[in-house]
Amino acid sequence: MRCDKAMVFDHHVHLEHGPYNPHDYPEVWVAQYFATADRMDVAGIGLVEHAYRFIEARGLLPGQWALERCRYSLATYHSRIRQITEKYPAALGLEMDFVPEQVAGIKKFLAQHPWDFVLGSVHFLGEFGLDVRDMDHYYTEWGPELVWGRYYETTIAAVESDLFDVITHPDLPKLFGHPKPSQKFLDPWYRRLADALNAHQVAIEINTAGLRRPVEEIYPAPRLLEWAHRAEVPITIGSDAHEPENVGIFFPEALLLAKHAGYQSALGFRHGERQLLPLE
C-alpha cells in the first residue's frame, strides 16, 4: 500500500457487467480501476457487488425486477475478487439489500463466504425500488413523509440487524429531486439513525454518486452527517463507481463535507479488519 498520499479508501466500487470469472474481468479491466485510484489519490478500493446479481440471492429481494437479475455465481465472484485483493490494495465486499422479512435468509447468504466488509443498502420499500426510474410515481402517490418515514424505519432496522458494517447512501430517497419532508420531520429520524449506528457500531457512508443523479447532492445531507458525528459514528467514503473512470470521483467534495461535520478520520477495511485512517 502507498504511504505518500492520503490514505482514503474508495469503499464502494462495482465491477459489474459480467459473470466475474477472470475471462470476463480480465486484468486489463481491473487494472483500469486501480490506475484511476492512483491518479485520484485513492489509497485502495473496496470492491462490492449488488447481491441481487447472484443466483444464491434468489428470493431475498421482492419483485420481478430483482428476480430477473439473479444470474451469477457468488462463489466465482468471491474467488475472483479475492485474487484481486492479493495483487492490489483492495478489500472484498458486497452491497446487500436489506429486506426486513428476509433477515434469516440474508444472514445465511452472507455466511457462505468471509467478507472484508458488507455494505447495507435500502433500495426497496416493499416492491418500490427507490432508485428505479419507472417506479418514481410512488414518490407522488405516497407523499414525502410516508416515503422518508418508511425509508428511515427500514434503515434503522437494517442497522439493528447487525448484518452490516456500513449503511450506504443514507438519504437515497432524495435522488430524483422529489420534495423532501420538513427538517422538523427529518431531524428525529436523523437522531434515531445516528443513535442506532453508534449502538451497533455500524459506519455511515459518504457517497458521491448523488452528485451524478438529478438531485446533484452528495449522500447524506450535511445535517445527518452532523448528527452522526455527534453520536461518534465513523464514516466511510465511496464513489459508487460502476466504471473505472468514476473511482474516487468528487472525493475533494466528500472530504470537505466530512470535515465540516467535524470528522478527522475515515474507516477502512483491510483483510477483514477495521482501521481508522486520518483524512489528511
Residue closer to Zn ion by CB (options 230, 242) is: 242
Angle at 222 between CA 216 and CA 225, to 5 degrees: 125
Instruction: State how far the Cα of 173 lies from the Cα of 179, in Å rounded to an integer.
Output: 10
Window 71-100: contact mask with Zn ion (x via CB under 5 A):
------------------------x-----
Minimum CB separation from Zn ion for residue 115, in Å?
A: 15
Q: What values do phi and psi take at 178, rounded to 5?
A: -65, 155
Q: Which of residues 167-206 bind Zn ion (CB under 5 A)?
A: none
Residue closer to Zn ion by CB (options 80, 169) is: 169
Which range in 55-63, 154-162, 234-242, 269-277 contacts Zn ion by CB under 5 A? Answer: 234-242
121 binds Zn ion (CB under 5 A): yes
Minimum CB separation from Zn ion for residue 100, in Å?
A: 17
Instruction: State how far the Cα of 182 lies from the Cα of 198, in Å rounded to an integer.
Output: 25
Q: Hey, is 117 helix, strand or coil? A: strand
Residue closer to Zn ion by CB (options 62, 280) is: 62
Residue closer to Zn ion by CB (options 165, 240) is: 240
Instruction: State how far the Cα of 204 lies from the Cα of 169, in Å rounded to an integer.
Output: 8
Number of residues that bind Zn ion (CB under 5 A): 3
Instruction: State how far the Cα of 197 lies from the Cα of 168, in Å rounded to an integer.
Output: 12
CA torsion, points 3, 5, 9, 13, in degrees to nearest 10?
Answer: -120
Contact (CB, 8 A) for 131 and 175:
yes
Minimum CB separation from Zn ion for residue 121, in Å?
A: 4
Contact (CB, 8 A) for 119 and 95:
yes
Minimum CB separation from Zn ion for residue 280, in Å?
A: 26
Minimum CB separation from Zn ion for residue 9, in Å?
A: 15
239 binds Zn ion (CB under 5 A): no
**DSSP structure class, residue 60:** S
Minimum CB separation from Zn ion for residue 277, in Å?
A: 21
**DSSP structure class, residue 182:** P
Minimum CB separation from Zn ion for residue 49, in Å?
A: 9
Residue closer to Zn ion by CB (options 23, 69) is: 69
Q: Which residue has the cell 470476463?
A: 24
Residue choice 240, 250, 261, 266 for contact with Zn ion (CB under 5 A): 240
Which range in 70-78, 155-163, 240-248, 264-272 contacts Zn ion by CB under 5 A? Answer: 240-248
Minimum CB separation from Zn ion for residue 264, in Å?
A: 26
Q: Is 53 exposed, middle or buried (0-12, 13-18, 19+ CB in 10 A)?
A: buried
Neighbours of 188 (CB within 10 A): 10
Residue closer to Zn ion by CB (options 121, 236) is: 121
Residue closer to Zn ion by CB (options 124, 138) is: 124
Q: Which residue has the cell 443514507?
A: 170
**Residues binding Zn ion (CB under 5 A):** 95, 121, 240
